[in-house]
Amino acid sequence: MTEPKPRAPRKKIFVKTYGCQMNVYDSARMVDVMAPEGYAEAATPEEADIVLLNTCHIREKAAEKVYSELGRLRALKNEKAGRGESLLIGVAGCVAQAEGEEMRRRAPMVDLIVGPQTYHRLPEYVARLANGGPAIVETEFPADDKFDSLPAPERRKTLARGATAFLTIQEGCDKFCTFCVVPYTRGSEFSRPLARIVDEAHALADAGVREITLLGQNVNAWHGEDAQGRPATLGRLIRALAEIDGLARLRYTTSHPRDMDDELISAHAEVPALMPYLHLPVQSGSDRILAAMNRRHDTETYLRIIERIRAARPDIALSSDFIVGFPGETEADFEATLALIRAVGFAQAYSFKYSPRPGTPAANEEDQLPDAVKDERLQALQALLGEQQLAFNASCAGRTMPVLFDRRGRGETQLVGRSPYLQSVHVEDAPPHLFGKLVDVEIEDGHRNSLRGRLRENEFVPA
């Protein structure tokens, strides 16, 4: 009897993700695109044959963090070589797009450098490197649509992502805010066709995903083609996705005030699956600073949009982004930002000190503020935002909310989920079979960053 040949061990790929939610989506798709080539996802770099760093260029010192990680990977590559093993090191994402040949010069151990629009070609690049080809630097914006080349999300991998998933529908930006690198690293605005998005959402729902967050640099600028080849709107797409069986919740981020049209606002009023939470970055409350940022809206316009949204969905929770210490920001400009925050009342917000991004217009402004001034203003702004967030969370105590349990908590009996308002909700004595399910939870306490709740008695049913 012939002995069966032992199966070759499956190759493995490890992707480390930096930055935004869109990078989380892209990293998952990188794994998907390598799966047909025989690659499984590795849990650590040490067990991988390929390590990819999927990078973000938005925050200060982002590139230096990548180079620091590359130093650690160089040691791992040398260690593997000493055992007769190989390790392919790649850098993807926005730092790769921005640095390009400079990264290759600074980190010669890197085998592959690809921008965010070319990772669908990973199998081709890996094959060329495996055949002894030279290191690859590919940071051009290709003519072809990467989404046309991506495989359907692998079912097993999708299930591992849990009950929630990200789905990129739009990339790039045509706004050219003076502080932002996105137009230079992600390119001009591109919208995926409506049918392709619906197909991918169906695949996610079939794999057990209950909540999808639609992603885009300017997600509400999405204008993908419908079946008749005409541009559609985000409000129309949301209505189409809400018809998918098993898909209980929809969210979207990040939006721009200029693109909050009537159809999208009406979707907030009329589509139950669209959660009552909106992240709408304003960046500053000073019209003078907004003009310097090239935001193309003023505070009056922003406040009118908020008024219309609240009229359509009175229970909506609002979130925003703020930059303090933009070049030329005076104390009066900063006070105007605090006044806007008090006028709106935010359930959550993200705030940052301005940091110059190379290649952006604002980086060349002469009137840069001292770090001490930016630090002081950021502390004051975050204190106000923290008060508002705590007040909103505390106001939830005593309410019953549907919570989608999507992760394990501390200990064996704690589950953590998300409320309709994107708050983390911690529940003790939660049976494990509730993981991935929508469950009514009585909120007992609201803290600054989370809620604590308990199951209603009728949820203590066996699996």
- Rounded percentage of the chain residues whose pLDDT exceeds 70: 92
Structure confidence by residue, pLDDT tens digits, 357-374: 888 999 999 999 999 999
Output 150 or 240, whichever has higher pLDDT. 240
Structure confidence by residue, pLDDT tens digits, 243-252: 999 999 999 9
Output 90 or 157, whichever has higher pLDDT. 90
pLDDT at 65: 86
Structure confidence by residue, pLDDT tens digits, 257-292: 999 999 999 999 999 999 999 999 999 999 999 999
- Is it the case that residue 462 has pLDDT exceeding 70? no
Please answer whether residues 153 and 32 qualify as being in contact, where contact means their C-beta atoms are separated by less than 8 angstroms: yes
Least confident of 154-168, 169-183, 194-208, 366-380: 154-168
Structure confidence by residue, pLDDT tens digits, 292-325: 999 999 999 999 999 999 999 999 999 999 999 9
Q: Give the CATH number of domain 151-395.
A: 3.80.30.20
Q: Which CATH number fits domain 11-138: 3.40.1000.10, 1.10.3720.10, 3.40.50.720, 3.40.50.12160?
A: 3.40.50.12160
Confidence band of 331 (pLDDT split at 50, 70, 90): very high
Confidence band of 159 (pLDDT split at 50, 70, 90): very low
Please answer whether residues 278 and 268 qualify as being in contact, where contact means their C-beta atoms are separated by less than 8 angstroms: yes
| 3-class DSSP string for the chain | CCCCCCCCCCEEEEEEECCCHHHHHHHHHHHHHHHHHCEEECCCHHHCCEEEEEECCCCCCHHHHHHHHHHHHHHHHHHHHHCCCCCEEEEEEHHHHHHCHHHHHHCCCCCEEECCCCHHHHHHHHHHHHCCCCCEEECCCCCCCHHHHCCCCCHHHHHHCCCEEEEECEECCCCCCCCCCHHHHCCCCEECCHHHHHHHHHHHHHCCCCEEEEECCCHHHCCCECCCCCECCHHHHHHHHCCCCCCCEEEEECCCHHHCCHHHHHHHHHCCCECCEEECCCECCCHHHHHHHCCCCCHHHHHHHHHHHHHHCCCCEEEEEEEECCCCCCHHHHHHHHHHHHHHCCCEEEEEECCCCCCCHHHHCCCCCCHHHHHHHHHHHHHHHHHHHHHHHHHCCCCEEEEEEEEECCCCCCEEEECCCCCEEEECCCCHHHCCCEEEEEEEEECCCEEEEEECHHHCCCC
pLDDT at 443: 98
Mean pLDDT for the chain?
Answer: 91
pLDDT at 95: 86
Q: What residue segments make up the domains of the chain, in order of their start?
A: 11-138, 151-395, 400-459
Distance CA 33, CA 25 (A): 12
Question: Tokens for 66?
Answer: 């990548």
Distance CA 274, CA 213 (A): 10
- Is it the case that residue 149 has pLDDT exceeding 80? no
Which of 281, 292, 279 has the alpha carbon at shortest distance from 325?
A: 292
Output 295 or 139, whichever has higher pLDDT. 295
Output 62 or 335, whichever has higher pLDDT. 335
Structure confidence by residue, pLDDT tens digits, 105-116: 899 999 999 988
pLDDT at 157: 45
Confidence band of 143 (pLDDT split at 50, 70, 90): low
pLDDT at 254: 93
Domain 400-459 falls in which CATH fold?
OB fold (Dihydrolipoamide Acetyltransferase, E2P) (2.40.50)
Confidence band of 224 (pLDDT split at 50, 70, 90): very high
Please answer whether residues 178 and 293 qualify as being in contact, where contact means their C-beta atoms are separated by less than 8 angstroms: yes
- Measured CA angle at 303 (ends 297, 304), to 5 deg: 90
Structure confidence by residue, pLDDT tens digits, 398-424: 999 999 999 988 878 899 999 999 999
Distance CA 68, CA 439 (A): 43
Distance CA 194, CA 191 (A): 9
- Is it the case that residue 91 has pLDDT exceeding 90? yes
Please answer whether residues 8 and 39 qualify as being in contact, where contact means their C-beta atoms are separated by less than 8 angstroms: no
